[in-house]
Structure 1
Amino acid sequence: METLRCMRAFVAVADHGSFSRAAVHLQVSAVMVGKYIQQLEAHLGTALLQRNTRRQRLTEAGVAYLAGCRQVLEQVQQAEASVAGLQLQPRGLLRVSAPTTWGSCVLAPALASLLQAQPLVNIELDLSNRTVDLIEDGFDAAIRVGALPSGALVARALPPYAMSLCASPAYLRRRGTPQVPSDLAAHDCLSHLAWRGGHGWQLANGEPVDWEGQARLSSNDGQALRLAALAGAGLVLQPTSLLGEDIAAGRLVTLLADHLPVPRPMNLIYLPDRRPRPRLQCFVEFMLERFPVPPVPEPAP
């Protein structure tokens, strides 16, 4: 039994005084209104209306049930109105997962403008290099670097995730500038602990490049390696998103540009939805506008 339909029919009959007028109001047939009332009475095990050929009126049970029906239908209407409001204006909490370095250096500062534009939206930004499950971990969206795990997700391309190899001008004056990857063996290299136990880099040719012994400094934090490189401790290979401002300001000098790792694809992913929530939709639109994918250069003639 469709309880809400039956309730609406019962309230319409009580308000309009007959099955026929209730049918006009509900835009169904009078026979269908009668079936709704019969289903309701069978479900409750009592008569709600006393009927004769001229009119019907509420029984004692009908009077009591009518008040409850009105209350239930009003609550349903309020709930539907609140959902309709959510469908129109972005509001509520948006949970986003992003890679640690890119998320802290690039995404977090950019979100300030989105928060100003959407005062009813709050953002929880989880920075981690682990692969999250949007459903199980409760995220609305994630920024993913590398291959995508599932075709069931919507993926929108972002600018590729590039790396830079750098050193400070003071270090290069002291130790010289490497010209080819094999020169790295004679330099102090700063390595992330996530890479091959603290030594070795993967450059563009796909072959790992080792230097003699362990890295002079290893850390599990890219920001620590950046600061060490700025202080002249050695060469650092880290995401361009982390080193870009220092490169532009001349505090770090790029090295071996022709041998850098190939930039990896980066995507904004989220679950498909025929009617996406406004807070997610505004975030997707913001990301695509703020971080457009650069056009692919046409091959030379």
Structure 2
Amino acid sequence: MDTLLSLRVFAEVAEHKNFSAVAERLGLSPAMTSKHVKHVEARVGARLLNRNSRNVSLTEAGAQYLLTIRPLLDGLAEAEAQLTSDSLSPRGTLRMSMPAWMSTPAFSHILTAYHQQNPHVMFDVDLSGRKINMVEEGIDLALRVAFKLDEGLIARKLAEVTFQLVAAPAFLDRFGRPDTPEDLINAPLLAYSRVAADGRLKFGGENGLDLRLRPILVSSDENILHQAAVAGMGFAMLPNWSAQNDVKDGRLETVLPGIAWPKLHIQAIYPDRSYLPAKVRSFLDFLAGPDGFSAFLT
């Protein structure tokens, strides 16, 4: 059998977790698709996929093998693409993971502007906020602000995000409007679980602020924290662009606006590949360009 084709079939099945869909995508029969995967398993002497009538998943050996061969397949595809007339035209599905608070009209305009320039790229966006395995799940790109970089991944800084403490006017009428940071001690906090699940707001180094608030709602979904703040439940630390319309329209107020609240970088995270697919490289360049985050954050 064609071993190179077998490797490509295995990678497709591993990332899409569906033999039938890959067979149709590659113009193969389901039986031949299965034979290609078995051919790879026979060559390496290990089971790479768990499969039953409903599910397909990578074994531990399969995940490691995919991590090894994916850069090789992508590099070969990139080299082949450079010899074709459409090598500069990104295409295919760009699978992306990003925080729920980026789900705004402004970011939708970025996606629209990119798609108008690159009509052959389709987006598949995950907003679950959960921890992902980029290789096993076939994620091309993740946008994150606070994260721990896993082995085998690289990051590119795209933009700086300023956060601000906000609360609803009706809540502040009841609680009182803080005059100093110390007025926030033990105040009710709507806490992002991956940063301040214990209610502690610490930033600015040794001479910065270290405050302990009282968490009353903890979640990894920024949208529920945002909506609870608008509803008047407590204080929330939100990105400027997420809160700015509610502040402008009077649904939220900035709290202690003179404080230098945290500034963090939006980073693009992707597998460490020698050759990035054109769809990923072009979208990264777009995000870093004048029509990307620089327009988004104004």
Matched residue, 2:223: 223
Question: Cα distance 1:198–1:219, how it changes in 2: closer, same or farther (>3 A)?
Answer: farther
The whole-number CA distance in structure 1 between the counterparts of 2:177 and 2:114 is 42
The whole-number CA distance in structure 2 between the counterparts of 1:89 and 1:195 is 39
Residues 66-77 of structure 1 mapped to structure 2, 5 A cutoff = none
- Contact residue 155 and residue 269 of structure 1 kept, 8 A: yes
The whole-number CA distance in structure 2 between the counterparts of 1:172 and 1:199 is 19
Question: Cα distance 1:156–1:188, how it changes in 2: closer, same or farther (>3 A)?
Answer: closer
- How far the C-alpha of 1:133 sits from its partner, in A, is 5.1
The whole-number CA distance in structure 2 between the counterparts of 1:186 and 1:140 is 41
The whole-number CA distance in structure 2 between the counterparts of 1:195 and 1:148 is 12
Matched residue, 2:168: 168
Q: Which runs of 5+ in 2 are unaligned?
A: 1-79
- How far the C-alpha of 1:153 sits from its partner, in A, is 5.8
SS in 1 for 2:294: coil
Matched residue, 2:199: 199
Matched residue, 2:190: 190
- How far the C-alpha of 1:240 sits from its partner, in A, is 2.5
- Contact residue 192 and residue 221 of structure 2 kept, 8 A: yes
- How far the C-alpha of 1:171 sits from its partner, in A, is 2.7
SS in 2 for 1:257: coil
- How far the C-alpha of 1:111 sits from its partner, in A, is 1.0
Question: Cα distance 1:271–1:219, how it changes in 2: closer, same or farther (>3 A)?
Answer: closer
Letter of the aligned partner of 2:286 in structure 1? F
Name the larger-Rg structure: 1
Find out whether 1:118 has 2:118 as its counterpart: yes
Q: Which runs of 5+ in 1 are unaligned?
A: 1-79, 295-301
Matched residue, 1:99: 99
Residues 235-254 of structure 1 mapped to structure 2, 5 A cutoff = 235-254=235-254
- Contact residue 81 and residue 87 of structure 2 kept, 8 A: no
- Contact residue 154 and residue 272 of structure 1 kept, 8 A: yes
Matched residue, 2:293: 291
| TM-score computed with the length of structure 2 as normaliser | 0.57
Shifted more, 87-96 versus 237-246: the winner is 237-246
- Contact residue 192 and residue 198 of structure 1 kept, 8 A: no
SS in 2 for 1:226: helix
Q: Give the paired residue count.
A: 213
The whole-number CA distance in structure 2 between the counterparts of 1:169 and 1:219 is 23
The whole-number CA distance in structure 1 between the counterparts of 2:116 and 2:177 is 45
- Contact residue 105 and residue 241 of structure 1 kept, 8 A: no
- How far the C-alpha of 1:208 sits from its partner, in A, is 4.2
Find out whether 1:88 has 2:88 as its counterpart: yes
SS in 2 for 1:84: coil
The whole-number CA distance in structure 2 between the counterparts of 1:207 and 1:129 is 27
SS in 2 for 1:250: coil
Matched residue, 1:145: 145
Question: Cα distance 1:265–1:217, how it changes in 2: closer, same or farther (>3 A)?
Answer: closer
- How far the C-alpha of 1:257 sits from its partner, in A, is 3.4
Matched residue, 2:212: 210
| TM-score computed with the length of structure 1 as normaliser | 0.57
The whole-number CA distance in structure 2 between the counterparts of 1:81 and 1:175 is 61
- Contact residue 157 and residue 293 of structure 1 kept, 8 A: no
Residues 12-27 of structure 1 mapped to structure 2, 5 A cutoff = none
- How far the C-alpha of 1:174 sits from its partner, in A, is 3.5
The whole-number CA distance in structure 2 between the counterparts of 1:123 and 1:243 is 26
Provide, for residues 253-272 of structure 1, a one-character-per-residue CA deviation record: whole Å limited to 9, x for no partner. 21123445431222224456
The whole-number CA distance in structure 2 between the counterparts of 1:253 and 1:109 is 26
- How far the C-alpha of 1:165 sits from its partner, in A, is 0.2
The whole-number CA distance in structure 2 between the counterparts of 1:267 and 1:192 is 18
Question: Cα distance 1:225–1:261, how it changes in 2: closer, same or farther (>3 A)?
Answer: same
Question: Cα distance 1:255–1:138, how it changes in 2: closer, same or farther (>3 A)?
Answer: same
The whole-number CA distance in structure 1 between the counterparts of 2:231 and 2:146 is 31
The whole-number CA distance in structure 2 between the counterparts of 1:169 and 1:91 is 47
The whole-number CA distance in structure 2 between the counterparts of 1:244 and 1:142 is 24
Question: Cα distance 1:84–1:131, how it changes in 2: closer, same or farther (>3 A)?
Answer: farther
CA-atom RMSD in angstroms: 3.7
Matched residue, 1:281: 281
- Contact residue 129 and residue 220 of structure 2 kept, 8 A: no
Question: Cα distance 1:145–1:175, how it changes in 2: closer, same or farther (>3 A)?
Answer: closer
The whole-number CA distance in structure 1 between the counterparts of 2:167 and 2:200 is 17
